[in-house]
Amino acid sequence: MAIERTLSIIKPDAVGKNVIGDIIRRFEENGLSVIGTRMTHLSAAEAGRFYAVHEGRPFYNDLCAFMSSGPILAMVLEGKNAVKLNRQLMGATNPKEAEAGSIRADHADSIEANAVHGSDSLDNAAIEIAFFFADLDLHSRR
């Protein structure tokens, strides 16, 4: 299995609930290493740039407002099959459909306030990592 990097964001709802540590614990206990972190508070325009792929969808404006409503923690996870593994640990986008024991089943309140974001492919991971981090900010454990 390939060693991959993926972007994870702990969203404003989960930061506000003070569950950053619980979420990172799940990543580390499942073999992922945090190789870069950045806490930031996006403007609505910055959130819009990050989620540009969703521009025009009915939830886009609400998504940008929510993602700029408070601080987030962006991080880069590294490990075997990191993109898929992170998405398994997160659970389905809609917490009503999220697998028991997943991050969203335990911490998300709605499809919008759904605790975490994770890159959906290796190509998008590279784009999303570059949105928040420079190479010098990343510290591989390999």
Of 8, 73, 117, 128, which one interacts with ligand CMP (CB under 6 A)?
117
Nearest to 64 by CA among 46, 82, 83: 46
Residue 105 touching ligand CMP (CB under 6 A): no
Residue 5 touching ligand CMP (CB under 6 A): no
Q: Is 111 exposed, middle or buried (0-12, 13-18, 19+ CB in 10 A)?
A: middle
What is the C-alpha separation between 19 and 16, in angstroms, rounded? Answer: 8
Total residues contacting ligand CMP by CB under 6 A comes to: 8
Residue 46 touching ligand CMP (CB under 6 A): no
Residue 59 touching ligand CMP (CB under 6 A): yes
For residues 58 and 135, which CB has a smaller minimum distance to ligand CMP in the complex? 58
Using DSSP, state whether 79 is helix, strand or coil. strand
- Give the active site residues: 117
Element (DSSP H or E) covering residue 56: none
Residue 93 touching ligand CMP (CB under 6 A): yes
| Number of separate helices (H) and strands (E) present in the chain | 7, 4
List contacts with ligand CMP (CB under 6 A).
Answer: 54, 59, 63, 93, 111-112, 114, 117
